Amino acid sequence: MPLIASVSGIRGVFGDGLDPAALVRYASAFGAWLRGQAGRAPLVVVGRDGRVTGDVCARLITATLQSAGCDVVDGGLATTPSVAMGVLKHGADGAVILSASHNPAEWNALKLLDGNGEFLGPDEGAAVLALADGGVADQTVGYQDLGGYRTDDLLPYHIEKILDLPFVDADTIRRADFQVVVDGINSVGAFAIPAMLSALGVDDVEVLNGEVTGLFAHNPEPLPAHLSGITSRVAESGADLGIVVDPDADRLAFVEDGGRFFGEELTQVIAADFVLGKTPGPVGTNLSSSRALDDVAARHGQRVVRSKVGEIHVVRAMQEADAVIGGEGNGGVILPALHYGRDALVGVALVLQHLAETGRSLSEIRDSYPAYSIAKHKLPLTDDLDADALLAALASRYEGRVSTVDGVKVDLDEGWAHVRKSNTEPILRVYTEAGSPQAADALAERFKAELLAG
């Protein structure tokens, strides 16, 4: 299987495209690019999620970076946002995160961050890929310039900075006496989310899939079809809420009291609702996110700016608009006051603070939001399907009602449909939103049929 290189990183199936030679080639290129940017020996933070291949890959990456003349801080098992915070803590020049996010256990990936702890932009990523094409030998330093190596636990600093936020108060959350169930999906969220909860004063925490084995107990993408275990447990235990993350804990979803899935689409909505009540300003998100965000922002007298799908695209749009909160409809919360990256830990803190201050449950808050439903379908790309041609045909069919900023987004009276090539899988993503789950699914099926007919 070929590697997939995009703004979301360089990912593939370990042993089938993503092999030691590929890891060395890309890490060497990244180290050389950082060295050129810094004009000296750069400092690089490395962290990994709980995948079975993580340790092997991390040892290859750290040694390769040292061979490229980089000093390395090895964070070991760490969430993606903790690595980003590690860049800020150490004043590093960049970072490598080993995680394929929501992809199955056989996948792994290199996510590359710059000195601001942000994902590389398209131009920066292209420069690294060009260096990778030049070969490893061109980027290896002599013995006298080998980089150093040390380790650091990045989580305590990350949690400390969240607790330092002016609108997060652990005493208020402690008094609410929440009972919480966490699905750690056998990766770094299994220890990072409970540690965050403990720091916020939440003592009654039950962790499902808490062994960090990298052998995911269910499909790791935080979607309703994969989460029957935690929804059942929240209902059975009478917990106030459930917390769900993906393997690197940059995506966050909730389960309501009673066991109903709150929805990853609403994660950024409730976070924005809380933050806008404290700090007015624009909100940033992508084209595939729910209209509910626009409605909630309007309640606060604020506007929403939208970008292409991909964290760095949202971040750039947020920076241009000076947004105070943002994210993506996949459960990503981006709080610039902390750092410009999706962060499940800060999302947990913001939502618990909101619940504690309002005295309302998640189900009550959910019922106060507009009733939209999003369907997320996939259309596998086979050799006989030309994705660009399919998208062009779809755009021409809906001329006048379409945006082609990122794939094809069609706005309709009854909702919208957004079709684009995935950044992380060989598929077309077909996302739709309408007034009910049935209507959203029907809209997705309609657009898939139209794509194949085209």
**Is 363 annotated in the active site?**
no
- Amino acid identity of residue 354, one-letter, is H
Task: Tally Cβ neighbours within 10 Å of residue 295.
Answer: 14
Starting at the edge strand found earlier in the chain, the sheet holding 427-434 runs 373-380, 427-434, 415-421, 408-412, 402-403
DSSP 3-state helix, strand, coil percentages of the chain (rounded to 5)?
Answer: 40, 25, 35
Q: Is 76 exposed, middle or buried (0-12, 13-18, 19+ CB in 10 A)?
A: middle
CB-CB contact of 250 with 332 (8 Å): yes
Give the residues across from 245 on adjacent strands. Answer: 252
Starting at the edge strand found earlier in the chain, the sheet holding 204-208 runs 204-208, 179-183, 241-245, 252-256
CB-CB contact of 324 with 282 (8 Å): yes
CA angle 426, 104, 88 (to 5 degrees): 95
Among the listed residues 8, 67, 101, 307, the single catalytic one is: 101
User: What is the sign, positive or negative, of the torsion defined by CA atoms of 170, 77, 248, 282?
Assistant: positive
Element (H or E) spanning 95, and its range? strand 94-98
CB-CB contact of 78 with 156 (8 Å): no
Mind telling me the catalytic residues? 101
